[in-house]
Each structure stands twice: as C-alpha cells, then as structure tokens.
Amino acid sequence: MLALILAFLIGAVAGSRTLLAPAAVSWAAYAGWLDLSGSWLFFLGHPVSPWVFTAMALVELIVDKLPTTPSRKLPFPFASRIAGGAIAGAAISADAGFWIGGLVAGGVGAVAGTLLGYAARMRLAAAFGRDRPAALLEDAVALAAAILIVAAA
C-alpha cells in the first residue's frame, strides 16, 4: 500500500516537473535504493541514466521560465507528464511487486499534480504579482518532494 501511495506522490511530482520524477527514481535505482534489475525499468539504474535525466530535468527547469513555454495543460505537455509519472510510479513500486499498480498510480498522480500544480502556481503568481517567484517555489517544492519520496521508498 505504501508503494502505491509513493507512486502516486512521485507522479504528482512529474505533474509539476515532468522529468524531475524520472531523474529522482533513476538516481535511487543507480544508488541501489530501488532494485530494478529484473524489470523492464532496468535502464533507470544504468550509470548513464541519472545523468541524462538530470540534464534533461535541468533544461526543463530553465525552459519552464520562458514566456514562450506552452501551458502544461495542452495535450503534449500533459501526456508527457502522465508518462513521466507513470514510469516513475512503476519504478517506485517495482520492489514491492506492484509495478502495474504503480504505473497507474503514478499516472493518476501526474494528472492531479498537473492540475493542482497549475492552479497553485497561478494563485502564487497572482499573489507575487509575477510568475517567476511562483515558478521557483514550485521547483523547490517538487525537488524536495522527489527527494523525500525516493528516500521513503
């Protein structure tokens, strides 16, 4: 049960920052915190994977602040968040033998994280009078949550 809750939560992180969740689980797999060696998710534990996912996540953090970046609620960004959350959720719950449930929970968490994260960011941006502080706060919360979630797995 805990594995499915953590899968939902890491999915919510992906709803906020698409590639942060896969990067976090990739680091956890590489460090040996998650054993993905016997699953289709083995690639997340490859020595190159955490670096690649981290580089992509850093690019995403930068691109997210650009005025030309499309809304996360458009079809492609939304689907990307669901995919990232589903993969991260499956990885979090694979050790417990619930990778299919984790895949679903991570995808559902990504939907919730996308919609709730968007609403929270819009409210914060209105409160700050501009978007950048809200975006940076969302980055910090997503990063802290990802670290806590993979540490709890």
Type of residue found at 124: L
Against a cut of 0.75, is the pTM above it? Answer: yes
Cβ contact 89:107 at 8 Å = yes
Cβ contact 2:36 at 8 Å = no
Please tell me the distance from the alpha carbon of residue 99 to that of residue 74, in angstroms, as a whole number: 27
Type of residue found at 80: S
Residues 106-123: pLDDT tens digits?
999 999 999 999 999 999
Residue 57: per-residue pLDDT = 97
CB contact set of 31 (below 8 Å; sequence gap of 6+): none
The Cβ of residue 16 has, within 10 Å, a number of other Cβ atoms equal to 27
